[in-house]
Amino acid sequence: MLAYIYINIDPVIVHIGPVALRWYGLMYVVGIIMGLLFMRGYTIRKGISQDIIYRVLWWCIVAGLIGARLYFVVQQPNFVSFYLAQPLHILATWEGGMAFFGAIFFVIPVLFWRAKVERINPLVAIDAGALFAAAGQLFGRIGNIINGDIIGYKSTLPWATVYQNPNSFACLNPATCNVPVQPAAVYELLTNIALLALLLFLSYRLRRPGAIMLVYLYGYVITQFLLFFVRDNTIVSFLGLNWGLKQAQWTSLVVFILLLPITYLLSRFSKPVPEGEVAATYGIPQKPKAEENQPATVETAAVEGEQSEGKQAEEKIEG
Predicted TM-score (pTM) of this structure: 0.83
SS3 content of the chain, % helix, strand, coil (to 5): 60, 10, 30
- Would you give per-residue pLDDT tens digits along the chain (319 residues)? 567 899 999 999 998 888 888 998 899 899 999 999 999 999 999 999 999 999 999 999 999 888 888 888 887 777 777 777 777 777 776 666 778 888 888 999 999 999 999 999 999 999 999 999 999 999 989 999 999 989 999 999 999 999 999 999 899 888 999 999 999 999 999 999 999 999 999 999 999 999 999 999 999 999 999 999 999 988 998 888 899 999 999 999 999 999 999 999 999 999 999 988 989 998 888 877 654 445 444 444 444 454 555 445 444 444 4
CA distances from 196 to 9, 265, 292 (A): 27, 25, 46
3-state SS track over 15-50: EECCEEEEHHHHHHHHHHHHHHHHHHHHHHHHCCCH
Element (H, E) at 114: helix 100-118
Which residue, among 140, 290, 284, 274, has the nearest Cα to 220 in the 3D structure? 140
- How far apart CA 273 and CA 283 sit, in angstroms, is 9
- How far apart CA 79 and CA 166 sit, in angstroms, is 26
